[in-house]
């Protein structure tokens, strides 16, 4: 998640000269990185539960989702202090969507 913080602190960050492709590529990066972030939070929270006896090991899927959302929220606040960057609710929605898809995938694997 450090790469997210680093990239969000760069003023005038553009991936493409075209506004259309810049928006598509940056939204895709948000979606993928926050999906990975959810997975990392999930593994950190549920790691010790893997060794519990059957019936005692309940995976926590909501706490990692909340933490990922919270990280995205604070990252957007951080961006509001960077010149030429701003808090964008659509980025927060894309972040949450990536995390939510990761949650669905992990729940299906359960």
Residue-range domain boundaries for the chain: 17-109
Spell out the residues 6+ positions from residue 38 whose beta carbon is closer than 8 angstroms to its own: 64, 65, 68, 98, 99, 100, 102, 103, 106
Q: Which positions of the chain have pLDDT values less than 70?
A: 49-57, 110
Q: What is the pLDDT of residue 2?
A: 84
Per-residue buried b or exposed e for 59-96, using 16+ beta carbons within 10 Å of the residue's own CB = eebeebbebbbebbeebbeebeeeeebeeeeebbebbb
Q: What is the pLDDT of residue 14?
A: 86
């Amino acid at each position: 998640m450090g790469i997210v913080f680093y990239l969000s602190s760069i003023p005038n960050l553009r991936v493409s000269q075209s506004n259309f492709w810049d928006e598509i590529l940056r939204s895709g990066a948000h979606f993928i990185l926050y999906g990975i972030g959810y997975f990392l939070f999930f593994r950190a929270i549920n790691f010790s539960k893997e060794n519990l006896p059957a019936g005692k090991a309940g995976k926590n899927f909501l706490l990692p989702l909340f933490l990922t959302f919270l990280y995205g929220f604070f990252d957007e606040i951080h961006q509001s202090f960077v010149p030429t960057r701003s808090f964008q609710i659509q980025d927060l929605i894309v972040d949450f969507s990536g995390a939510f898809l990761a949650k669905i995938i992990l729940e299906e694997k359960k």
